[in-house]
Every structure is written in structure tokens, then in C-alpha cells.
């Protein structure tokens, strides 16, 4: 998975975790958010969490692939951060 332009433009990056299924959004060398695509009734959803406190952030919808679910999670994060 590639780092989206809106994230890299603000000094952020994506990094795959050691479990090979959790993606971390990295700012200043620290993982600030985590994303995990999970199977749900033949489709995939994305669990998005703030790593500092474990708070779950809303990322609605079911998607055909895990990649689409992760992309939707990143889009939810972009909107939550107010980055257009």
C-alpha cells in the first residue's frame, strides 16, 4: 500500500506492522493511527484507532477487498483531520 499524497504532503507515512495486517500512520517517527481490514459478511471493513489512547474512529461501510477497506479508512482519517 502506498502513502497517499495528502499524507506525505504533511510529513506522514504508512508502515506495515510486524503482524503483516496492521497499517500505521506515522507522524514524526511515531505511529499515531492504526488501520486493520477485517472480514465482515463476505466483504471487508476497516478498524481505525488512535494509538495514543486506543480510541476507535468511525470508518463506515463494507468493501469488496481489504485494500478498498483500508483506502476508505484512510479517507475517513483525512476527513476527520480536516485535510481536503
Q: What is the mean pLDDT of the chain?
A: 95
pTM score, whole prediction: 0.92
Cβ contact 21:35 at 8 Å: no
Q: 9 Cβ partners below 8 Å, 6+ apart?
A: none
Domain count along the chain? 1
**Which residues, listed in sequence order, are joined to residue 15 by a DSSP beta bridge?**
24
Segments forming the whole domain that contains residue 32: 5-81
Q: What is the pLDDT of residues 42-69, one digit of tens each?
A: 999 999 999 999 999 988 899 999 999 9
Amino acid at each position: 500500500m502506498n502513502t497517499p499524497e495528502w499524507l506525505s504532503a504533511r510529513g506522514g507515512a504508512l508502515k506495515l506492522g510486524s503482524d503483516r495486517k496492521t497499517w500505521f500512520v506515522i507522524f514524526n517517527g511515531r505511529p499515531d493511527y492504526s488501520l486493520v481490514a477485517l472480514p465482515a459478511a463476505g466483504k471487508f471493513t476497516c478498524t481505525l484507532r488512535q494509538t495514543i489512547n486506543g480510541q476507535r474512529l468511525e470508518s463506515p461501510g463494507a468493501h469488496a477487498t481489504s485494500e478498498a477497506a483500508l483506502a476508505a479508512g484512510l479517507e475517513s482519517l483525512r476527513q476527520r483531520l480536516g485535510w481536503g
